[in-house]
Amino acid sequence: MLDVRRLRLLRELAHRGTIAAVAEAMAFTPSAVSQQLSALEREAGVPLLARSGRRVVLTPAGRGLVRHTEAVLAQLERAAAELDSTRRGLSGSLRIGTFPSAGRTMVPAALAELARRHPGLEPMVVELDPALVADALRAGDLDVALVHEYDFAPMPPEPGIAVIPLCREAMHLATAIPALTTVADCRDQPWILAVEGTLCHRMTVHACQAAGFTPRARHQVDDFATVLALVAAGQGVALVPELGLVEHPDGVTLTRLPLGRHTRIAHRGGAEDHPAVRAFADAMGTAVPNGLKHAIRR
């Protein structure tokens, strides 16, 4: 019989790439991870790992076993959800990941609604870049998380992760020059981009490339309040989602664009019917601001 805990380690190795990364994520020592994977190979009766230089990679058998592991873990999530649904009232911790603009505008109202409906539930929020959410969910560090993607920067599906649509918000061009009303108008302007490697950075670059040019980056800033302050100071132009416009300084012209950012609630595959996940999704549905396209379906 294959050990589920060891299967989880193999799955983490497939996603994280190194034994050291698996050990750090799962609170093991690297030697303990290696020992557990060796034991899994003995259980399987075939090689699951192979050396590639100083790294280990999964064999075809190992990759096939990971695919089955995703299905097994999803079924275990469904079993846990079914058991929890038999209890009277929700209680215990609910670990929530969020990106900053949602954490500032929607999450507080959702937590207040959760407290009203389920006083025994203890939500615990951590701010996290959406690119890190899948690993945190698979490792069990989070139970649910808010993630986003842009029209010009979609997120590829993540194995073992499912999402619930929440809302769509419009993107806005922010400039200090009222005559600039399209991305193409800003071809010769300096741009304020998000930090390289983020979805927001990729979205802006792709939107500019679709307009026929590559943006000239002057600043790289993730915080939208800072971005808008820099725009007001004449330091460049930027694309900002609606949730990032809670506070914008005088002197900034905002033009609504036919582009959108889509927010979703991510959870482990199989956990969509877990009472706490449903409760969080329902509470988030009540917290979507007026004017944003509401997408959640229960």
What pLDDT is stored for residue 293 in this prediction?
66
| pLDDT tens digits along 210-239 | 999 999 999 999 999 999 999 999 999 999
What pLDDT is stored for residue 267 in this prediction?
96
| pLDDT tens digits along 244-285 | 998 778 999 999 999 999 999 999 999 888 999 999 999 999
Do 79 and 43 share a structural domain? yes
What pLDDT is stored for residue 21 in this prediction?
86
Do 79 and 16 share a structural domain? yes
Per DSSP, the residues of 247-282 read S--TT-EEEEEEEEEEEEEEEETT-TT-HHHHHHHH
Total structural domains within the chain:
3
Do 128 and 62 share a structural domain? no
The conformation of residue 178, written as its DSSP 8-state character, comes to T
DSSP helix/strand/coil, 83:
helix
What pLDDT is stored for residue 221 in this prediction?
95
Do 78 and 19 share a structural domain? yes
CATH number for the domain spanning 251: value is 3.40.190.10
Q: Which residues pair with 174 in a beta bridge?
A: 238, 254
Q: How far apart are CA 188 and CA 252, in angstroms?
A: 18
CATH number for the domain spanning 53: value is 1.10.10.10
Do 101 and 126 share a structural domain? yes
Do 22 and 150 share a structural domain? no
Q: How far apart are CA 254 and CA 239, in angstroms?
A: 9
The conformation of residue 153, written as its DSSP 8-state character, comes to B
Question: Domain range holding 273?
Answer: 90-167+262-294
Low-confidence ranges of the chain (pLDDT < 50): 297-298
Q: How far apart are CA 43 and CA 178, in angstroms?
A: 68
Do 99 and 74 share a structural domain? no
Do 268 and 161 share a structural domain? yes
Do 190 and 178 share a structural domain? yes
Q: How far apart are CA 24 and CA 94, in angstroms?
A: 22
What pLDDT is stored for residue 297 in this prediction?
47
Do 37 and 177 share a structural domain? no
Do 100 and 38 share a structural domain? no
Specify whether the CB–CB gap between 275 and 159 falls below 8 A: no
Q: Residue 92: which of 280, 266, 257, 295 has the closest Cα?
A: 280
